[in-house]
Amino acid sequence: MKLVWLRRDLRAEDNTALYHASISGEPVLAIYVATPDSWQAHDLAPIQADLIYRRLFEVQKDLQQNNIPLVYAQVATFAESAQLVAKLAREHAVTGVYFNKEYEVNEVQRDSQLVDLLAADGIEWHGFDDKCLLPPGSVKNKQGDYFKVFTPFKRAYLAKMYQSPWRVTKLQPLTQQAVWRDEIVSELSPRSSFDYPRQTSERYAVDTESIIKQLRQFDSDRADAYEKQRDFPAVAGTSKLSPYLAIGALSVRQCMARLTYQQALPLVGGREIWQSELIWREFYQHLIYFEPKLSKGRSFTPWGDALIWKNNPAWIEAWKTGTTGYPIVDAAMKQLNATGWMHNRLRMIVASFLVKDLHVDWRIGESYFMSKLIDGDYAANNGGWQWCASTGCDGQPYFRIFNPVTQGERFDPEGHFVCTWIPELAKLPKKYIHQPWKAPNAKALSYPAPIVDHKTEREITLALYKEAKDNGNGA
């Protein structure tokens, strides 16, 4: 019998480990192991935990159609999950364990532990680079090293993707069914232990048909206009597929296949821009693989660790609760806290504000985002925060500092998004919505005054960054 260990690859279709196990000629059984203590240490958002929990039942249905049972267990940590899988493989005559690799440090250590345990018992293991369309190490520069800047990475990535054959795989129903009886694991049921806080994710469908339908609808209805609409949070211009990519309910291959289907290559316009967003996700996965320090709270740039942060607790709390006095920042944070999602343009604005207006360590923002986001993905979240903090691999200089007023005026010109989340500003004339402190009746508003002056804090940031870059070595 073959055992497939599911993690952040919660799908039956286009799942490399499942596919290879299914063509082995032996019965296949899938297992999912919850690890609440490790999840807590990694700031797993309760809303994403709920999405995972709900999605598991749909994966179970999909696998049952292929005569593959899904069993479930819960232990505290990653290390214990590796031990459990190895123990079950040993005690139940499993001939091979299949899994899709993850690239963060703790996950790599977990899988290394599993491999050692299986090898000691003489059990075969098969790890697959399923998380990326082009796995880490397959896209390199002329010197044979990994890329540290996105644009040349993208060029090399596309050249290789268009030249190398790749496909979306489909499971074929097995004629035999694996049988498992054990006191530790059981069939997934509503009674299964899932001891982690959950916040409802009901607004997100979790059945495979709905997820694929959403991908197809974005492709047919909004992909071509994505370039023009994606930066405006009041417009439904994005795909909203990131939660499914984050937990592996959808693969990047499925997205890329749909995006390029019957299209002339290379892509242009909105399709090319959305393709770039997919490749950004791949880029950050590659970086996490080659730079383990990114999983350990370190800056990509050595001087980034020499930055001095104020970390004012009151300012941090105002940022978290959406009470900074800057409407576009506050509306975005209220959206995050209420829904577990935030528009990508807004993520850049609020991250820049926290780091460069409030002088708060980007790691604090990174952790808070992970604790709230339904689409939290460590590599993408880390990459985004370091991009905004100018401590990551980015060709732009550190003096890129977003002005929260002009950003609001540019990307929410009518104030529709802001007034959705801060209705007390809806009665203001449009010219005051993004700087309500200038309105004649500002004192009568039930809305706070700005906690900092952007122009003043910008100058402080420039000085702090210059000092760190001139003197810091990251040692």
| Tokens, residue 298 | 């370190």
Task: Out of 362, 382, 387, 421, pick the active-site residue.
Answer: 362
Question: Looking at residue 381, what is its pLDDT?
Answer: 98
Question: Looking at residue 474, what is its pLDDT?
Answer: 43
Question: Looking at residue 104, what is its pLDDT?
Answer: 97
Q: Confirm if 210 and 225 have CB atoms less than 8 A apart.
A: no
Task: Out of 337, 344, 403, 437, pick the active-site residue.
Answer: 344
Query: Does residue 437 carry a catalytic annotation?
Result: no
Q: Smallest Cα–Cα separation from 99: which of 209, 90, 113, 40?
A: 113
Query: Does residue 39 carry a catalytic annotation?
Result: no
Query: Does residue 337 carry a catalytic annotation?
Result: no
Task: Out of 67, 227, 309, 409, pick the active-site residue.
Answer: 309
Query: Does residue 303 carry a catalytic annotation?
Result: no
Task: Out of 280, 312, 403, 467, pick the active-site residue.
Answer: 280
Between CA 379 and CA 285 the distance in angstroms is 6
Question: Looking at residue 475, what is its pLDDT?
Answer: 44
Question: Looking at residue 181, what is its pLDDT?
Answer: 65
Q: Give the model confidence (pLDDT) of 256-273 as tens digits.
A: 999 999 999 999 999 999
Q: Are strands 70-74 and 186-187 parallel, antiparallel or unpaired?
A: antiparallel
Task: Out of 13, 227, 272, 277, pick the active-site residue.
Answer: 277
| Tokens, residue 193 | 């232990």
Query: Does residue 385 carry a catalytic annotation?
Result: yes
Task: Out of 39, 125, 303, 385, pick the active-site residue.
Answer: 385
The list of the chain residues with pLDDT below 50 reads: 474-475
Query: Does residue 166 carry a catalytic annotation?
Result: no
- Where helices occur in 178-268 by DSSP H, the ranges are 208-221, 226-229, 242-247, 252-260
Between CA 136 and CA 141 the distance in angstroms is 13
